[in-house]
């Protein structure tokens, strides 16, 4: 072996021995994991289309419409197509490369003086035609498995793009449900606010009558007027928030140019669902952000292997074929040819740069591993926190619902007493006002619980068809 080859081989061996493959991520389930448990275990169908568990046809229709036609969904689909097309570009370099070329040229020669010469293959006058065509090919022979490293990186990029796409759609479904519940809550609160304005108007009229008859002071009458103004201000603010929320929802589902009235919003909240629990390990298989982070490790590991193989020589074949034809007056000839050649390229002076590239790629691979570990920890944390908070919201709704029922009964009793002449109008209106306030608190708690259920489903990895991945793999294999 020549000295240069020995030096090159030694440096390559040294570089590869200093490099380690991507380390195994630490993704053990925390020993103190306190995920709230329910009586029901989640199934794939429940998590994939969790919005159907809420049993609200309007919500289901809006989410499915958003997943098909919204700008966010269409942008996510376009990004996925781009990423999948880009990920396979590097593999094309291992296919034979080359372009066919062809040319033709016709020459007309006129002799102005002298003696014409016309011998086969040479003429000083007349018409000559020359045509040629050739195909030159370059093909890198992969003797060390570079294509497998590139394919691993490409598959990782493609998988990461797919999971990013699914995460975008899951977030879109969650956003639509979140805004929808906000809108429903605002519709109920606006209804209560308008009723409060009515009650305060009646109370203000009673106060003015009492002031006129000298039963209360002018200060008490002014207080009733202030209470009415505050109720009117609150109703106006809720009206604006309700219209803005309805507009936001229209934009989310891809109907941003339509009038707000085209989206009717009922003032009836759905029942807060019982979010099914899932075992901690299943979160890693369901959450698209976790699976995307894992795919990023595969991508960077493939690039790390490719950086290692950059120290080995590259062999390139350069075959070619061609055809030429020449025609002159009284003469015609044609030729065919083929050629084959090869080149070998061995890094020598570029080894310091390759070592730097290898070190950088190793650092990028380590970053991908750390990002995956962080994604796992974030997934566990979000799932645990969401379930604990959701359980607390459910208890709060139960308590406030009981209080609202008692306030409603008191208001109804006050109206009965007023009809019987046992209570005055002010007492009756005060009882109704108290019930409206309790109902508003209960509505806010129900909306919060519904929004928390959305967060919980998302934290558990719901909102995308994880089962479709195995179907895709089987289809590609067949």
Task: Tell me the pLDDT tens digit for each residue of 138-167.
Answer: 998 888 989 999 999 999 999 999 999 999
8 or 110, which is more confident: 110
> For 69-104, how does the pLDDT look when each residue is reduced to its tens digit (9 = 90+)?
899 999 999 999 998 888 878 888 888 888 889 999
Closest CA to 105 of 323, 326, 321: 326
Domain ranges in the chain are 37-94+142-311+347-473, 97-141+313-346
User: For 361-415, what is each residue's pLDDT tens digit?
Assistant: 999 999 999 999 999 889 888 888 888 899 999 999 999 999 989 998 998 898 8
Tokens of 396: 């709060």
E strands, 255-330, in order: 314-317, 320-328
CA distance 371 to 163: 15
The burial of 227, by beta-carbon neighbours within 10 Å (0-12 exposed, 13-18 middle, 19 or more buried), is given as middle
CA distances from 256 to 247, 250, 391 (A): 7, 5, 35
pLDDT computed for residue 122 by the predictor: 65
Per-residue model confidence as pLDDT tens digits over 403-446: 989 998 998 898 888 777 777 777 888 888 888 889 889 999 99
Q: Do the beta carbons of residue 313 and residue 141 sit within 8 Å?
A: no
CATH superfamily of 37-94+142-311+347-473: Outer membrane efflux proteins (OEP) (1.20.1600.10)
List, for residues 302-344, the tens digit of each pLDDT value: 999 999 999 999 999 999 999 998 887 767 888 998 989 999 9
The mean predicted confidence, pLDDT, of the chain is 83
Residue 376 token pair: 């796992």
Asked if 90 and 157 touch (Cβ cutoff 8 Å), the reply is no
| Residue 469: per-residue pLDDT | 57
Q: Is the pLDDT of residue 4 over 80?
A: no
- CA angle, residues 32, 35, 36, in degrees to nearest 5: 135
pLDDT of residue 172: 94
In this prediction, residue 286 has a pLDDT band, given cuts at 50, 70 and 90, of confident
β pairing state of 314-317 and 126-141: antiparallel
Instruction: State yes or no: pLDDT of 168 exceeds 70.
Output: yes
Long-range contacts of 37-46 (CB under 8 A, 24+ apart): 37/277, 38/274, 38/275, 38/276, 38/277, 39/274, 40/274, 40/276, 40/277, 41/276, 41/277, 41/278, 41/279, 42/276, 42/277, 42/278, 42/282, 42/460, 42/462, 43/276, 44/466, 44/467, 46/276, 46/462
What does the pLDDT read at residue 418?
A: 76
- CB count within 10 Å of CB 120 equals 11
Taking Cα atoms as reference points, which of 59, 46, 49, 48 lies closest to residue 182? 59
Backbone angles phi, psi at 351, to 5 degrees: -60, -40
> Is the CB of residue 286 less than 8 Å from the CB of residue 466?
yes
DSSP 461: T
Q: Are strands 126-141 and 320-328 parallel, antiparallel or unpaired?
A: antiparallel
* Residue 294 vs residues 24, 60, 107: alpha-carbon distances, Å: 11, 31, 65
Indicate whether 271 pLDDT > 90: no
């Amino acid at each position: 072996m020549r000295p240069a080859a020995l030096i090159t081989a030694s440096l390559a061996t040294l570089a590869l021995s200093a490099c380690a493959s991507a380390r195994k991520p630490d993704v053990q389930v925390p020993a103190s994991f306190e995920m709230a448990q329910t009586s029901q275990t989640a199934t794939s169908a429940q998590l994939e289309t969790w919005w159907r568990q809420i049993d609200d046809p309007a919500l289901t229709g809006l989410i499915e419409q958003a997943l098909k036609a919204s700008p966010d969904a269409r942008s996510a689909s376009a990004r996925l197509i781009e990423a999948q097309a880009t990920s396979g570009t590097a593999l094309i370099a291992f296919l034979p490369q080359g372009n066919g070329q062809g040319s033709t040229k016709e020459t007309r020669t006129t002799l102005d003086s002298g003696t014409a010469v016309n011998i086969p293959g040479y003429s000083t006058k007349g018409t000559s035609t020359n045509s040629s065509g050739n195909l030159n090919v370059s093909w890198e022979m992969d003797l060390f498995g570079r294509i497998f490293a590139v394919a691993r990186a490409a598959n990782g990029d493609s998988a990461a793009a797919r999971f990013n796409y699914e995460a975008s759609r899951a977030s879109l479904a969650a956003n639509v449900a979140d805004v929808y519940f906000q809108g429903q809550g605002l519709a109920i609160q606006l209804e209560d606010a308008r009723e409060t304005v009515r009650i305060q108007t009646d109370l203000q009229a009673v106060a003015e009558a009492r002031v006129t008859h000298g039963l209360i002071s002018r200060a008490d009458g002014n207080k009733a007027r202030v209470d009415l103004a505050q109720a009117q201000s609150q109703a106006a603010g809720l009206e604006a928030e309700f219209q803005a929320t309805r507009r936001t929802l229209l934009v989310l589902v891809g109907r941003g140019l339509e009038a707000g009235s085209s989206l009717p919003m009922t003032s009836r909240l759905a029942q807060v669902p019982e979010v099914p629990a899932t075992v901690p390990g299943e979160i890693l298989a369901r959450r698209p952000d976790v699976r995307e982070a894992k795919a990023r490790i595969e991508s960077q590991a493939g690039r790390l292997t490719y950086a290692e193989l950059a120290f080995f020589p590259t062999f390139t074949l350069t075959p070619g074929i061609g055809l030429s034809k020449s025609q002159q007056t009284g003469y015609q000839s044609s030729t065919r040819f083929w050629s084959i050649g090869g080149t070998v390229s061995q890094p020598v002076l570029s080894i310091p740069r390759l070592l730097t590239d290898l070190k950088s790629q190793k650092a990028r691979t380590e970053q991908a591993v750390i990002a995956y570990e962080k994604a796992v920890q974030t997934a566990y944390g979000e799932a645990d926190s969401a379930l604990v908070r959701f359980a607390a919201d459910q208890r709060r709704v139960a308590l406030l619902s009981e209080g609202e029922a008692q306030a409603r009964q008191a208001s109804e009793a006050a109206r009965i007493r007023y009809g019987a002449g046992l209570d005055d109008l002010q007492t009756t209106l005060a009882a109704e006002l108290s019930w409206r306030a309790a109902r508003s608190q209960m509505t806010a708690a129900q909306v919060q619980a519904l929004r928390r259920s959305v967060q919980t489903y998302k934290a558990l990895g719901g909102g995308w068809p994880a089962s479709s991945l195995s179907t895709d793999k089987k289809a590609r294999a067949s």
